[in-house]
Protein backbone atom coordinates (compact mmCIF):
# COMPACT_ATOMS: atom_id res chain seq x y z
CA UNK A 1 0.00 0.00 0.00
CA UNK A 2 1.45 3.38 -1.00
CA UNK A 3 2.37 5.70 1.84
CA UNK A 4 0.22 8.73 2.69
CA UNK A 5 1.74 12.00 1.46
CA UNK A 6 2.19 15.11 3.58
CA UNK A 7 3.50 18.29 1.96
CA UNK A 8 4.49 21.40 3.93
CA UNK A 9 4.08 24.61 1.96
CA UNK A 10 6.05 27.17 3.98
CA UNK A 11 5.13 29.94 1.48
CA UNK A 12 7.38 32.86 2.45
CA UNK A 13 7.80 31.88 6.09
CA UNK A 14 9.58 31.74 8.50
CA UNK A 15 10.84 35.30 8.21
CA UNK A 16 14.53 34.56 8.77
CA UNK A 17 17.11 31.86 8.07
CA UNK A 18 17.67 31.38 11.81
CA UNK A 19 13.97 30.61 12.32
CA UNK A 20 13.91 28.31 9.30
CA UNK A 21 16.87 26.42 10.72
CA UNK A 22 15.21 26.10 14.09
CA UNK A 23 11.98 24.79 12.50
CA UNK A 24 13.70 22.17 10.34
CA UNK A 25 15.76 21.05 13.34
CA UNK A 26 12.61 20.61 15.42
CA UNK A 27 10.95 18.67 12.61
CA UNK A 28 13.95 16.39 12.22
CA UNK A 29 13.86 15.59 15.95
CA UNK A 30 10.40 14.13 15.37
CA UNK A 31 11.66 11.98 12.49
CA UNK A 32 10.30 8.77 14.02
CA UNK A 33 6.75 10.11 13.62
CA UNK A 34 7.24 10.51 9.89
CA UNK A 35 8.63 7.15 8.94
CA UNK A 36 5.40 5.74 7.50
CA UNK A 37 4.72 8.81 5.41
CA UNK A 38 6.14 10.45 2.31
CA UNK A 39 6.95 13.91 3.68
CA UNK A 40 7.89 16.86 1.49
CA UNK A 41 8.97 20.30 2.67
CA UNK A 42 8.64 23.28 0.31
CA UNK A 43 10.61 26.16 1.89
CA UNK A 44 11.35 29.58 0.39
CA UNK A 45 14.15 29.11 -2.17
CA UNK A 46 16.69 30.98 -0.09
CA UNK A 47 16.39 28.30 2.62
CA UNK A 48 16.90 25.33 0.28
CA UNK A 49 20.49 24.79 1.32
CA UNK A 50 19.80 24.84 5.06
CA UNK A 51 16.69 22.70 4.79
CA UNK A 52 18.41 20.17 2.51
CA UNK A 53 21.05 19.68 5.21
CA UNK A 54 18.54 18.40 7.80
CA UNK A 55 15.94 16.86 5.56
CA UNK A 56 17.42 13.52 4.41
CA UNK A 57 16.65 11.77 7.68
CA UNK A 58 12.90 12.17 7.38
CA UNK A 59 11.66 14.04 4.31
CA UNK A 60 12.33 15.22 0.79
CA UNK A 61 12.68 18.66 -0.60
CA UNK A 62 9.93 20.33 -2.64
CA UNK A 63 9.63 23.66 -4.42
CA UNK A 64 6.64 26.00 -4.35
CA UNK A 65 6.80 26.58 -8.10
CA UNK A 66 8.97 25.67 -11.09
CA UNK A 67 10.37 27.91 -13.79
CA UNK A 68 9.21 27.75 -17.41
CA UNK A 69 12.81 28.35 -18.49
CA UNK A 70 15.77 26.02 -18.75
CA UNK A 71 19.36 27.00 -18.09
CA UNK A 72 20.31 30.16 -19.98
CA UNK A 73 20.71 33.90 -19.53
CA UNK A 74 17.55 34.50 -17.52
CA UNK A 75 18.16 37.01 -14.76
CA UNK A 76 16.26 36.20 -11.59
CA UNK A 77 15.26 32.70 -12.64
CA UNK A 78 15.89 29.55 -10.59
CA UNK A 79 15.84 26.73 -13.12
CA UNK A 80 14.63 23.15 -12.59
CA UNK A 81 18.29 22.05 -12.89
CA UNK A 82 19.22 24.18 -9.87
CA UNK A 83 16.26 22.88 -7.88
CA UNK A 84 17.24 19.33 -8.79
CA UNK A 85 20.84 19.91 -7.68
CA UNK A 86 19.57 20.57 -4.14
CA UNK A 87 17.61 17.33 -4.22
CA UNK A 88 14.16 18.72 -5.03
CA UNK A 89 11.80 15.83 -5.72
CA UNK A 90 8.43 17.52 -6.00
CA UNK A 91 7.11 20.88 -7.22
CA UNK A 92 3.86 22.51 -6.23
CA UNK A 93 2.48 23.81 -9.52
CA UNK A 94 -0.49 26.12 -10.12
CA UNK A 95 -1.09 27.09 -6.50
CA UNK A 96 -4.07 29.46 -6.33
CA UNK A 97 -1.80 32.18 -4.92
CA UNK A 98 0.24 31.95 -8.15
CA UNK A 99 -2.85 31.78 -10.35
CA UNK A 100 -3.94 34.95 -8.54
CA UNK A 101 -0.70 36.59 -9.75
CA UNK A 102 -1.69 35.81 -13.33
CA UNK A 103 -0.38 32.28 -13.91
CA UNK A 104 -2.51 30.65 -16.61
CA UNK A 105 -3.61 27.04 -17.00
CA UNK A 106 -1.55 26.95 -20.22
CA UNK A 107 1.60 27.86 -18.27
CA UNK A 108 0.68 25.31 -15.64
CA UNK A 109 0.40 22.53 -18.21
CA UNK A 110 3.84 23.51 -19.59
CA UNK A 111 5.32 23.55 -16.09
CA UNK A 112 3.97 20.06 -15.44
CA UNK A 113 5.84 18.77 -18.48
CA UNK A 114 9.01 20.65 -17.52
CA UNK A 115 8.90 19.19 -14.01
CA UNK A 116 8.43 15.63 -15.26
CA UNK A 117 11.25 15.99 -17.81
CA UNK A 118 13.48 17.30 -15.01
CA UNK A 119 12.71 14.32 -12.82
CA UNK A 120 10.60 16.36 -10.37
CA UNK A 121 7.08 15.14 -9.53
CA UNK A 122 4.40 17.79 -10.15
CA UNK A 123 1.79 18.39 -7.46
CA UNK A 124 -0.86 20.26 -9.42
CA UNK A 125 -3.20 22.50 -7.44
CA UNK A 126 -6.83 22.94 -8.41
CA UNK A 127 -9.81 24.31 -6.54
CA UNK A 128 -12.94 26.39 -6.93
CA UNK A 129 -13.11 29.97 -5.69
CA UNK A 130 -16.59 29.60 -4.26
CA UNK A 131 -18.88 26.70 -3.52
CA UNK A 132 -22.58 26.94 -4.31
CA UNK A 133 -25.61 24.83 -3.52
CA UNK A 134 -26.36 24.29 -7.24
CA UNK A 135 -23.02 22.57 -7.76
CA UNK A 136 -21.80 25.04 -10.37
CA UNK A 137 -18.34 24.83 -8.84
CA UNK A 138 -18.05 21.35 -10.31
CA UNK A 139 -18.12 22.78 -13.82
CA UNK A 140 -15.39 25.23 -12.80
CA UNK A 141 -13.33 22.37 -11.43
CA UNK A 142 -13.77 20.28 -14.57
CA UNK A 143 -12.63 23.13 -16.78
CA UNK A 144 -9.66 23.95 -14.56
CA UNK A 145 -8.50 20.33 -14.50
CA UNK A 146 -8.94 19.90 -18.25
CA UNK A 147 -7.04 23.09 -19.02
CA UNK A 148 -4.26 22.55 -16.49
CA UNK A 149 -3.62 18.98 -17.62
CA UNK A 150 -4.19 19.58 -21.33
CA UNK A 151 -1.83 17.86 -23.74
CA UNK A 152 -0.55 15.38 -21.16
CA UNK A 153 -0.47 11.76 -22.21
CA UNK A 154 -1.18 8.85 -19.88
CA UNK A 155 2.50 8.31 -19.23
CA UNK A 156 2.92 11.89 -17.96
CA UNK A 157 -0.40 11.79 -16.10
CA UNK A 158 0.76 8.73 -14.19
CA UNK A 159 3.60 10.79 -12.68
CA UNK A 160 1.56 13.60 -11.20
CA UNK A 161 -0.34 14.20 -8.01
CA UNK A 162 -3.29 16.57 -7.56
CA UNK A 163 -3.85 18.88 -4.62
CA UNK A 164 -7.49 19.85 -4.24
CA UNK A 165 -7.41 23.21 -2.51
CA UNK A 166 -10.72 25.10 -2.55
CA UNK A 167 -9.59 28.73 -2.64
CA UNK A 168 -12.22 29.78 -0.09
CA UNK A 169 -10.74 27.33 2.44
CA UNK A 170 -7.08 28.37 2.14
CA UNK A 171 -5.44 30.35 4.90
CA UNK A 172 -8.57 30.47 7.04
CA UNK A 173 -9.10 29.16 10.51
CA UNK A 174 -9.47 25.42 10.94
CA UNK A 175 -13.24 25.51 11.19
CA UNK A 176 -13.44 27.00 7.71
CA UNK A 177 -11.85 23.98 6.04
CA UNK A 178 -14.14 21.94 3.86
CA UNK A 179 -16.29 19.40 5.68
CA UNK A 180 -15.62 15.71 5.05
CA UNK A 181 -18.91 15.08 3.19
CA UNK A 182 -18.22 17.91 0.73
CA UNK A 183 -14.61 16.79 0.33
CA UNK A 184 -15.81 13.31 -0.48
CA UNK A 185 -18.07 14.66 -3.27
CA UNK A 186 -15.22 16.69 -4.73
CA UNK A 187 -12.83 13.74 -4.69
CA UNK A 188 -15.33 11.55 -6.54
CA UNK A 189 -15.81 14.31 -9.09
CA UNK A 190 -12.07 14.91 -9.59
CA UNK A 191 -11.48 11.18 -10.06
CA UNK A 192 -14.25 11.09 -12.66
CA UNK A 193 -12.72 13.99 -14.62
CA UNK A 194 -9.27 12.35 -14.46
CA UNK A 195 -10.76 9.04 -15.60
CA UNK A 196 -12.51 10.78 -18.53
CA UNK A 197 -9.16 12.29 -19.54
CA UNK A 198 -6.72 9.45 -18.95
CA UNK A 199 -8.74 6.28 -18.42
CA UNK A 200 -9.80 4.74 -15.15
CA UNK A 201 -6.59 2.82 -14.46
CA UNK A 202 -4.31 5.85 -14.80
CA UNK A 203 -6.76 8.04 -12.85
CA UNK A 204 -6.83 5.59 -9.96
CA UNK A 205 -3.05 5.87 -9.65
CA UNK A 206 -3.04 9.68 -9.35
CA UNK A 207 -2.80 10.62 -5.65
CA UNK A 208 -5.25 13.29 -4.51
CA UNK A 209 -4.27 15.49 -1.57
CA UNK A 210 -6.45 18.00 0.24
CA UNK A 211 -5.24 21.47 1.20
CA UNK A 212 -6.96 24.41 2.90
CA UNK A 213 -6.85 25.23 6.63
CA UNK A 214 -5.72 21.78 7.66
CA UNK A 215 -5.08 21.80 11.40
CA UNK A 216 -5.05 19.40 14.33
CA UNK A 217 -8.80 19.78 14.90
CA UNK A 218 -9.91 18.81 11.39
CA UNK A 219 -7.11 16.57 10.10
CA UNK A 220 -8.50 13.25 11.36
CA UNK A 221 -11.96 13.80 9.86
CA UNK A 222 -10.58 14.90 6.50
CA UNK A 223 -7.94 12.15 6.42
CA UNK A 224 -10.71 9.57 6.70
CA UNK A 225 -12.35 10.66 3.43
CA UNK A 226 -12.06 7.87 0.86
CA UNK A 227 -9.67 8.70 -1.93
CA UNK A 228 -7.62 11.26 0.03
CA UNK A 229 -3.94 10.24 0.03
CA UNK A 230 -2.65 13.12 2.12
CA UNK A 231 -2.51 16.85 2.77
CA UNK A 232 -0.87 20.00 1.48
CA UNK A 233 -0.47 22.13 4.57
CA UNK A 234 0.35 25.84 4.75
CA UNK A 235 0.09 27.70 8.06
CA UNK A 236 0.00 24.63 10.30
CA UNK A 237 3.24 23.30 8.77
CA UNK A 238 5.17 26.12 10.42
CA UNK A 239 4.69 24.63 13.86
CA UNK A 240 6.58 21.37 14.39
CA UNK A 241 4.18 20.11 17.07
CA UNK A 242 1.09 20.75 14.98
CA UNK A 243 2.69 19.22 11.90
CA UNK A 244 3.47 16.08 13.86
CA UNK A 245 -0.16 15.78 14.98
CA UNK A 246 -1.37 16.20 11.39
CA UNK A 247 1.06 13.45 10.33
CA UNK A 248 -0.47 11.18 12.99
CA UNK A 249 -3.94 11.68 11.51
CA UNK A 250 -2.65 10.24 8.22
CA UNK A 251 -0.85 7.26 9.68
CA UNK A 252 -3.73 6.21 11.91
CA UNK A 253 -6.30 6.33 9.12
P1 LIG B 1 -3.29 26.75 4.60
O2 LIG B 1 -2.56 26.81 3.15
O3 LIG B 1 -3.04 25.38 5.14
O4 LIG B 1 -2.64 27.85 5.37
O5 LIG B 1 -4.74 27.00 4.33
C6 LIG B 1 -2.62 25.73 2.26
C7 LIG B 1 -1.98 26.14 0.98
O8 LIG B 1 -2.10 27.31 0.60
O9 LIG B 1 -1.31 25.32 0.31
Question: Would you say residue 250 has pLDDT above 70?
Answer: yes
In short, whether 203's Cβ falls inside 6 Å of ligand 1 is no
For residue 199, how far is its CA from the centre of ligand 1 (angstroms)? 30
CA of 72 to the centre of ligand 1 (A): 33
Closest C-alpha to 189, from 228, 144, 147, 141 = 141
Check pocket membership of 235 for ligand 1, CB cut-off 6 A.
yes
On average, the pLDDT of the chain sits at 95
List the residue whose alpha carbon is closest to atom 1 of ligand 1: 234
Residue 214 CB–ligand 1 contact under 6 Å: yes
Q: What is the pTM of this model?
A: 0.97
Q: Does 96 sit in the ligand 1 pocket, CB within 6 Å?
A: no
Percent of the chain at pLDDT > 70 equals 99
- Do residues 186 and 222 make contact, with C-beta atoms less than 8 angstroms apart? no
The confidence band for 70, taking pLDDT boundaries of 50, 70 and 90, is confident
Catalytic residues: 95, 165
Band of residue 164 on the pLDDT scale cut at 50, 70, 90: very high
- Decide if pLDDT at 174 tops 70: no
What is the CA(175)–ligand 1 centre distance, in A? Answer: 13
Query: Residues 15-56: pLDDT tens digits?
Result: 999 999 999 999 999 999 999 999 999 999 999 999 999 998
Amino acid sequence: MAKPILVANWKNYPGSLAEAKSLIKQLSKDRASYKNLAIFIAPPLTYLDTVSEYIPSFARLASQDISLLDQGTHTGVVTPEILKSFGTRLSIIGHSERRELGETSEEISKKIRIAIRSGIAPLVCIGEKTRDADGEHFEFLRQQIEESLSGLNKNFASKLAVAYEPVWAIGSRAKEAIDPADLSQSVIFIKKVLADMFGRKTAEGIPILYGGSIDVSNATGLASVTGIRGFLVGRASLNAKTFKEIAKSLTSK
